[in-house]
Amino acid sequence: QKEVEQNSGPLSVPEGAIASLNCTYSDRVSQSFFWYRQYSGKSPELIMSIYSNGDKEDGRFTAQLNKASQYVSLLIRDSQPSDSATYLCAVINTNAGKSTFGDGTTLTVKP
């Protein structure tokens, strides 16, 4: 079992729909969670960070964290073709100083 698991996709949604990306992690003491976006041929860029249970909203993006169930998700509202990319989930166990990335979910938003 991988420490951080993501559905590789591809996930395809129509323009204007909500895209839901999920990530589960195995290290129960993980404390910091991040979502990155990686366009083809580019390096990952940070979208959002979340540290506490619940929702965190930033524009069209909402990160959701449930530590009891060990999952973190990213919702993209009003999806645009420019959102088409691979989304990486990253988890940090601050006690161990260890960060782990998932392999990413590829999202395609169709016009």
Partner 1 sequence: GAGVSQSPSNKVTEKGKDVELRCDPISGHTALYWYRQSLGQGLEFLIYFQGNSAPDKSGLPSDRFSAERTGGSVSTLTIQRTQQEDSAVYLCASSFTRDDEQYFGPGTRLTVT
Interface stretch with partner 1, choices 19-27, 66-74, 75-83, 101-109 (CB under 8 A):
101-109
Distances (CA, A) of 20 to 6, 29, 69, 95, 108: 12, 24, 17, 30, 12
41 Cβ neighbours under 8 A, 6+ residues apart: none
**Closest by alpha carbon to 20, among 110, 109, 91?**
109
Kindly state whether residue 25 participates in binding partner 1, applying the rule CB under 8 A.
no
Only segment of 16-24, 58-66, 68-76, 91-99 that touches partner 1 (CB under 8 A): 91-99
Q: Are 89 and 34 in contact (CB under 8 A)?
A: yes
Under the binding rule (CB under 8 A), the answer on residue 53 touching partner 1 is: no
Nearer to partner 1, 71 or 101 (CB): 101
Binding site for partner 1 (CB under 8 A): 31-32, 34, 36, 42-46, 49, 88, 90, 92, 94, 97, 99-104
